[in-house]
Amino acid sequence: MNAKTENYQLDSELTLRDRAQSPLTVRAIALSLTKQDDQLIECRLTLIVNPELYNHIDTDALFNLKPEVRGSFCAGKFQPELDIKIEISLKPDSLPHLVERAADVNEAANYILNLSQEQPDHPLLYTENWLGLSVKQQQESGETGYSTFWAYINPSALANGETSSEEIGDAIANFFKEWTEANLSEMTQNATNDILEGIVDFFQEMADVTIDAIAGVATSSGQIFEEMVNFFKEDEWPFYQIKGQPVLQMAFQGENGKWTCYAKVREKQEQFVFYSVCPVNAPENKRMAIAEFITRANSGTIVGNFELDFADGEIRYKTSIDVEGDRLSSALIKQMVYANVTMMDEYLPGIMSVIYSDVSPADAIAQIEE
């Protein structure tokens, strides 16, 4: 099977959305579509950003540029006054949104640019739905920068089960070869484990997509899923379903910020789960303080709880219900959803103050709960 790639040159401003749903204006210079047997398997964008904007992307690991999947700099560090080129690839579960609207690369480019102007909350514009492939800077002495693990393997082929274990092994080996050649003197067991965990997490995510896709209609046509979809339609929440999964993604605007939410059904277990994902991740040096903060916040909480992922610092609020032997109603969903977003909105200023203002967890909680 031969893959065919179409390229389209751009020179346009494109406004994307970061985790906080804040605008991220970049310059798009190229778009490419790769098809195999007339099926779209990859969409890539090449962006130009200034050093200040890259610092934001780097700090918050936007475009899934997590430390554990980054390769090492090939030649020197970035210079503070020069622009930086970033190549990104659309995540597999977001490709159907593009397929429905774009027959060729020209239409795809115009569609994405129009979304930026007319539908700024569209999922195709969320940085979390794109994978960073490479980050480069052209200097007088030559090009420097790094590639990520996603540049060594096609995530779409992986999600569709088209990548063999041998190809996956080769991708990991090539990635580690480059990484260790640049970091041999400072290679540590912890660093190796972090990289492997990041790669395994992505493989697990892709495996979940594949398994759910195989399950097909049975996964997403159960009574609980239908009830969930009906609620968000009736309550006028803009959302989209993650391909092959009984999961809806949406944004919520509270009084203290805007963030991404996920509504998930576990039909077999007869459970409904709703998450509010904090718009910022806790940096490594703040994770113990945030852990204390959410422990204090959870104390006495009746409906739901805060969670912290120590691996990447993601903070979320979860509400859930088990309806085994009963049925899920819109009234129950509404209770779970609004209790959830209310708690995230109430405690979001405290999270921010602990991360950015060196306020102690105890003081932050006291300011909220008083």
Same domain assignment for residues 52 and 143:
yes
H/E stretch holding 291 reads helix 287-298
Structure confidence at residue 327 (pLDDT): 76
On whether both 227 and 319 belong to a single domain, the answer is yes
pLDDT of residue 293: 96
Domain enclosing residue 303, as ranges: 217-369
Residues 240 and 297 in one domain: yes
Answer for the pair 213, 244: CB distance below 8 angstroms, yes or no.
yes
Going 126 to 129 to 132 to 133, the CA torsion angle's sign is negative
Q: What's the token pair of residue 358?
A: 């060196």
The pLDDT, as a whole number, for residue 176 is: 53
* pLDDT tens sequence across 94-109: 888 787 777 889 999 9
Q: What is the mean pLDDT of residues 266-275?
A: 87
Bridge partners of residue 258, in order along the sequence: 253
Averaged pLDDT for residues 120-129: 88
pLDDT digits (tens, 9 = 90+) for 357-368: 889 999 999 999
Do 119 and 24 lie in one domain? The reply is yes
Predicted pLDDT of residue 367: 92
Helix, strand, coil share of the chain (percent; to 5): 45, 30, 25
Element (H, E) at 101: none
pLDDT at 290: 96
Residue 267: CATH number of its domain:
3.30.1460.70
Note whether 57 and 79 are same-domain residues: yes
Strand order in the sheet with 84-90: 3-17, 23-36, 39-49, 84-90, 130-139, 142-147
- CA 202 to each of CA 55, 187, 207, 266: distance values in angstroms, whole numbers, following the listed order: 24, 23, 8, 20
Q: What is the pTM of this model?
A: 0.58
221 lies in the same domain as 191: no
Edge-first strand listing for the sheet containing 315-322: 239-241, 247-253, 258-266, 271-277, 315-322, 305-308
Residue 184 clears pLDDT 50, i.e. is over it: no
> Is residue 202 located within the same domain as residue 249?
no
- Low-confidence winner among 2-16, 77-91, 104-118, 146-160 (lowest mean pLDDT): 146-160
Same domain, 202 and 224: no
Among candidate residues 52, 35, 55, 54, the one with its CA nearest the CA of residue 43: 35
High-pLDDT (> 90) share of the chain, %: 42
Per-position b or e across 317-329, b if 16+ CB within 10 A of its CB: bbbbbebeeeebe
Claim to verify: residue 150 and residue 228 sit in the same structural domain:
no
**Which of 164, 196, 215 corresponds to the end of one domain?**
215
Q: What residue type is assigned to position 202 of the chain?
A: F
Instruction: Provide the pLDDT confidence category of residue 50 given band limits of 50, 70 and 90.
Output: very high
- Same domain (yes/no): 133, 250: no
With CA atoms as reference, report the closest residue to 68 among 278, 312, 286, 314.
312
Q: Among 171, 187, 215, where does a domain finish?
A: 215
Whether 204 and 332 map to the same domain: the answer is no
Of 132 and 168, which is predicted with more confidence? Answer: 132
Residue 141 exposure: Cα atoms within 13 Å on the Cβ side: 8
Would the pLDDT of 210 be above 70? no
Among residues 183, 215, 247, the one where a domain terminates is 215
Give the number of domains in the chain.
2
- 241 residue type, one letter: Q
One domain for residues 154 and 142 = yes
309 contacts 275 by C-beta, under 8 angstroms: no
